[in-house]
Amino acid sequence: MQRPVSSPATSSCSTTPSQRKKRPRGRLSLVVSALNPAAARVRLAPPPLAAGALLSVGAPLAVLAVALAFAAARLTVQDSWLALVSGREVAEHGLPTLDHLTVLGGGHTWIDQQWLAGLLLYGAARVGGVGLALSLCTLAILVAFGIAAAVANRRGASPASILVFLALAVAAAPWGLQPRAQALALPLFVVVLALLVEDPRGERHRTLLVLPVLCLWANVHGSVVVGAALVFAYALRTRALRYLLAPLTVAASPYAPHLPAYYRLMLVDPPFGRYISEWSRTTPSPFTAAFFVLAAVAAVLAIRRRGQLGLFDHIALVLTLAVALEAIRGIIWFALAALALLPAIATRRQGTAFEGRATAVFAAAAIAVVVIALSLTAARPARAYELSFPAGLADVVRDGAGAHELVLANEATSDWLLWRVPELRGRLAYDVRFEVLTRAEVTRLFAWRNFAPGWRRVADPYAVVVDDPAHIRGLVATGRWRRVLAGSQIAVAERIRHAR
């Protein structure tokens, strides 16, 4: 006799409530419901290494990796070259306490707070060239975004929600993708955030790992103050007194005695703050539009679905938002926090995830794309990342400066010149480390930059000037300088002998 087959609707809906209660339950469900009845109603997140979860995180990262590989040359900036130069300085001369790289900063105190990041990047450049150093930064960026996306996935975010917020985070802080010392600090921030938000009551022993992570971060980048503030707020929230040690980790550096003055200079009233856009306050503009969109989305979600965010989640978002509003350079921390915490509460349909046999294949393909993109970045020759500098610029400056002459180069070229022409050490006017200069020196340099009255006198002590074509034309017009190299954005003038 043929057994009657009930329809799916009948088989799923015809049972009575009492029959449903008698259905066997898994051991994990019984344990969870016994310990916390409310937790039994929460959907358990997929295992962190499940193919679906891996694809949810890996697919957006693969897209980001390809974009970073194509944009690597444009993303390479003066801070990228500074990291290499400072790393070489530490490797060859030890930890600096005084500046020996520039003329104006010569003999001034130099706190190379991010010495470890520079040393790591210089070591990578020695082993595999500039491309490997930049690839290491790209890897750190991808790891940071990957961990943030994994946190979102474990909290129940859908793949689409993760993708949208990752795109918003990238658009809100594109300068956060630049290969420089800060890039190595990004995964440290996300590790700290992940440990804290996954232990909202401060009960897990592994959460204590935030303290050694902060100690490491204190030698990688000055943004460790953001992580320390986050952990300190966590200590107040959970009343776990051991985390009150977080501010002390900022001083876990060979520069510990000098750090109070350093952070006061850099955070309270930097002499260069009003001259450099990245250090200025974040105000509405086309440049910051994506950030304010992300901030608005975060505010709406945090208000409308506040019951889905824990108290510390709110604290983390508010604190990083305050950092982002304080200065443009701080937006990246809010962007990463938003990527970790918001996609789950923006997910309308729980349980939406990649499934099926092809999921593992696509996840492996995403990982392969990331590896290939990193390999391409590492394999490119150094010249591929120097496209903003005219061909022959280093040789022209080397020949013009000879063995003893001084060179005035703007902040866009100075650290690259120090990297390419090491013998300019101590003979270059200044570089992007404006913190080693006095306020008067910073003011004078920006008077030169803005063509203030008497601006040409800044060039008097120098035999070679490397700057934009407008400054070079102004010098040549005096009859005491001649142009020796002309580019669309960079030109070089050499003083005519006996024309001082």
What is the structure's pLDDT at 41? Answer: 35
What is the structure's pLDDT at 29? Answer: 40
Q: Round to whole Å and give the CA distance between 158 and 317.
A: 20
**By three-state DSSP, how is residue 173 classified?**
coil
What is the structure's pLDDT at 179? Answer: 97
What CA–CA distances, in Å, run from 36 to 31, 40, 131, 206, 333? 8, 7, 52, 22, 34
Spatial contact of 363 and 159, defined as CB atoms under 8 Å apart:
no
Spatial contact of 166 and 201, defined as CB atoms under 8 Å apart:
no
What is the structure's pLDDT at 350? Answer: 60
Domain limits, the chain: 51-366, 393-495
Pick from 359, 342, 356: which is nearest to 155 by CA?
A: 342
Q: What are phi and psi of 386, to 5 degrees?
A: -115, 25
Instruction: State the DSSP H helix or E strand holding residue 323, giving kind and residue range, or none if neither.
Output: helix 311-326
Structure tokens at 78: 């003066």
Task: Return all residues near 231 (Cβ < 8 A) that are at least 6 apart.
Answer: 192, 196, 210, 211, 214, 243, 246
What is the structure's pLDDT at 139? Answer: 98
Q: Round to whole Å and give the CA distance between 460 and 289.
A: 42
What is the structure's pLDDT at 354? Answer: 65
10 Å Cβ neighbour count for 35? 9
Structure tokens at 34: 């016994």
Structure tokens at 44: 């358990």
Residue corresponding to tokens 């290491």: 136
Spatial contact of 163 and 342, defined as CB atoms under 8 Å apart:
no
Q: Round to whole Å and give the CA distance between 190 and 166.
A: 14
What is the structure's pLDDT at 2? Answer: 37
Task: Return all residues near 283 (Cβ < 8 A) that are at least 6 apart.
Answer: none
Pick from 400, 403, 386, 402: which is nearest to 466 by CA?
A: 400
Q: Round to whole Å and give the CA distance between 162 and 317.
A: 17
The residues that bridge with 492 in the sheet, in sequence order, are: 466, 485
Q: Go through the chain and tell me how many residues it has.
A: 500
Helix ranges, 36-77 (H)? 51-75
Structure tokens at 82: 């500074």
* pLDDT by 10s per residue, the chain, length 500: 333 333 333 333 334 334 434 434 443 343 333 334 333 333 334 444 577 788 889 999 999 999 999 999 999 999 999 999 999 999 999 999 999 999 999 999 999 999 999 999 999 999 999 999 999 999 999 999 999 999 999 999 999 999 999 999 999 999 999 999 999 999 999 999 999 999 999 999 999 999 999 999 999 999 999 999 999 999 999 999 999 999 999 999 999 999 999 999 998 888 887 788 888 899 999 999 999 999 999 999 999 988 899 999 999 999 999 999 999 999 999 999 999 999 999 987 665 566 667 888 888 999 999 999 999 999 999 999 999 999 999 999 999 999 999 999 999 999 999 999 999 999 999 999 999 999 999 999 999 999 999 999 999 999 999 999 999 999 999 999 999 999 999 999 999 986 55
What is the structure's pLDDT at 46? Answer: 42
Spatial contact of 158 and 347, defined as CB atoms under 8 Å apart:
yes
Spatial contact of 454 and 443, defined as CB atoms under 8 Å apart:
no
CA 487, chain centre distance (Å): 31
Q: How many helices (H) and strands (E) does the chain have?
A: 22, 4
Burial category of 139 from C-beta neighbours within 10 Å (exposed 0-12, middle 13-18, buried 19 and up): buried
What is the structure's pLDDT at 42? Answer: 36
What is the structure's pLDDT at 353? Answer: 61
